[in-house]
Structures are given as structure tokens and as C-alpha cells.
Amino acid sequence: MEDVRSRKRPRLAWDVGPPKTEAVTGEGAPAAAPAAARPPSPPWRADDREGHYVYDLGENLTPRYKILSKMGEGTFGRVLECWDREKHEHVAIKVVRSIRKYRYAAMIEID
């Protein structure tokens, strides 16, 4: 049997819903499972003039992460202390400036 899964890596964005699953019917044809509802995207807002993400303390960065404080700032962007609602722990999240060369460098850093 041929493997029909995508060879692409899964996206690592918070607003991507869970992967679609398929159930096999008695005839061997796949039947689509009900689609899970995706959480809505946060409201759009402009970055500041240096390209830094504008935020408020106590705001939800995503449905999973709540912003508690700013830990630091540098050339790439800012590091925010957030509360992870799923794992119930404090985490540091780097928010890269919205400038092409910094986003590109951050993607290389991730790999």
C-alpha cells in the first residue's frame, strides 16, 4: 500500500487546527472525520515604528500563552515571559521584529 501522507513538516503556528484524521469504512474507502473548529486569529494590530510587536501585559499572545512581562529586548526583537496554560508553567517566548532580514535569520536559527 502506498503511503499518501505529506512529506512536508507540520506547521508550528498556534492558529493551525489539529491534523485531519480519516476513518476507514467497511468498503476500504476513507471517510472524512468531522472538522475541528479552529480558534479565531487574534485581532490585527500594527507594530511600532521599529517593527516590534505591540502588546499589553496580561494580554493573550495566543489562546495558550498569556503575557506576564518583558524579559528583554535586542536587535532581533523582544523576549516575553508568558504563562503556558496547557503545561501550567512559565515560558520565555522570543517575538522577532517584523523586518524581513530578522524574520529570515530567525527561521535559520530555528532549523
Residue 109's pLDDT band, with cuts at 50, 70 and 90, is confident
The predicted-structure confidence for 63-98, as pLDDT tens digits, reads as follows 999 999 999 998 889 999 999 999 999 999 999 998
The whole-number pLDDT of residue 49 equals 86
d(CA 24, CA 31): 6
**Quick one: CATH architecture of 43-110?**
2-Layer Sandwich (3.30)
Q: Which helix (H) or strand (E) holds 69?
A: strand 65-73
Dig out the grid coordinates for 65 from the structure: 500563552
CA 45 distance to own-chain centroid: 17
What is the chain's Cα-based Rg? 19
Q: Is the pLDDT of residue 16 over 70?
A: no
Dig out the grid coordinates for 101 from the structure: 532580514
